[in-house]
A and B are shown apart, each in its own frame.
Chain A
Amino acid sequence: MRNSLRILAMGVALLALPGVTVAKGIKEPLRDGYYQALKGKKVAFLPGAMAMDLAIGWLAGLKSELEPQGVEIVVRDPNFNIQAGAQALTQLIAEKPDVIVVHNPDVTTYAKLIKQAEANGILIVQINMASLQKSTAYVGVDWVEMGAVQARHVVEACKGKSGKIAIVQGDLTAAASAYTMSGIESVLAENPDIKVVSNQSASWQSDKAKSITQTVLKQNPDLCGIIGFWDNMDRGTAAAVDEAGLSDQVYVATSGGGETKAACDMVKSGAYDLNVVYSVPNQGANLASTIKYLLSAGVKPGEISGQMYTTLTPVTAANAGDEGICWTMKQ
């Protein structure tokens, strides 16, 4: 409203100028408002932990896109501790930044705080992991689709084989796990010949993933596919398959943020047959774009609520070497 008034005023001023006949040096009507809307704004970033490659990628995107516009970015690092995260978010609400980018540890912990923050006039953008509490924007992966994509590939690979697959989950209570699982289940429901022989949680730990996979492979030497929930953890899964000498027989599917070493290199080496990648730099750019839009449009919390799902790229041996599929973290 304020912006349009300003534009109107500018137009009136232009008309009032005598003898303006040539359209040279005409004032661009948007940029002043845009820069003013962004300048001096404060964006807070609350990841699960700054030690994750995802968080580093997102923060890099935010900084490169927003800082040149005069937006201040502050980071709070709860270091995987959700109580610390909740406390940091509570403190942020009292500090009143304009936007908080929240990476939820699960669907419930931050829900009340997100509601409280938006009630206090702070825009909440959720990244990659949506809370049950909807906020102004969600940027990130569609986990149900993620599960479905992996499951379809594994089902395809198991055609004509034993049909036995194993699932290596992260934390059972993590919502991403639950959503991914529902995606997998919907695909499996259409393929009754596929049998899940083991569905275990490795708590995001690679050594545990390896132990579980080793045991499962010993019990089911004819296993044809494994769906893992995170590529960093599934290094262990892949190592177990590799050690058992079953790399050709067992189709290993996993997912992750597309960092070269964790994704493309592993697919190239044959450790994973599939890594469904959500590009973290793209997510970072999406985040920044969303924030730019929200701030320049002067959106108030609660007025709108929208999603921006990240494109999922299945990385297989066929495209792992292609330019731009993976991204490399700067040290």
Chain B
Amino acid sequence: MGEFFSFLQNNLADFWSYTGFYNASPGHIAMLVIGIVFIYLAIAKEFEPMLLIPIGFGILIGNIPFNMEAGLKVGIYEEGSVLNILYQGVTSGWYPPLIFLGIGAMTDFSALISNPKLMLIGAAAQFGIFGAYMIALALGFDPMQAAAIGIIGGADGPTAIFLSSKLAPNLMGAIAVSAYSYMALVPVIQPPIMRLLTTKKERLIRMKAPRAVSHTEKVIFPIVGLLLTTFLVPSGLPLLGMLFFGNLLKESGVTRRLAETARGPLIDTITILLGVTVGASTQASEFITWDSIKIFILGALSFVIATTSGVIFVKLFNLVLKKEDKINPLIGNSGVSAVPDSARISQIVGLEYDPTNYLLMHAMGPNVAGVIGSAVAAGILLGFLI
């Protein structure tokens, strides 16, 4: 009988060594708290809920403590585990292009086609990426890490994940979380900079109404866009190819079902998988470090630089434009490709100064140009550093 109780005791002790309570460390607890904070921000404050909920819950999933040496094949870094298989989409970099397919299928490029000079604002805002790159180098990151961090300034989550998975996989969790956090904070970061850099007169500029764009132009755009950008930067092909392909599905008018799938079920599925696995990949040992803190600071700076450069570029551009073609500098911020949040900020700030001046459609031009610009910038960084 005593032997039997001893067996039971050993069995329970063995079981106890497998539990999360036994294996928990302060790092695990800290990460779980971070995950819960993300979920709170998503639900209570509605900060990017579509992404912060999967990422926040992913952080919980990825930081449940367990006996790593037991070979349970449950951890995201254990080969053959379910999470590891789902994580392949991130490490191999095929989730972000699929997200871009959906983005292409839901994006209307009319504003850009009708006023193509707005593309240059999208290009100017990419200074955020390279400003952050330079600061990251100064903080001691190597060029590949600095480039992966700099791409946060592109304000494009999938692009940030795509590039960091190639250039600095160990920083990917912090970079992805930082990128999405600041995209959620666009309404907080951008307006003060926009007000600071513009005069009242500039904020009241009324832009010419965009002309109607024909169906043919809309069909030509993704084809020419793909050819021009990828001939120049072939390393951006996965992102740009899928973006323009998705847009052609939308604009062709004959593949409605495919476009609906790309911008609906497909992008939703990939968003869920991407969010959860990126969240689960943030382990305390990698995430709670000084580097992560630096990445968060650099992320904020990159958004500030991107917004500043966009607004200043419009002001400079206005110097060479005719009076009737002048651009309201309040749409300069929308070169930051957080679609459509930054365009919406242009609209809101513009309405504060003139309740009848609607800037949304004008701001959508640089906004979608920013998507193209950040994908091109990611391709350039890949081409330069790999």
A, B co-complexed:
no
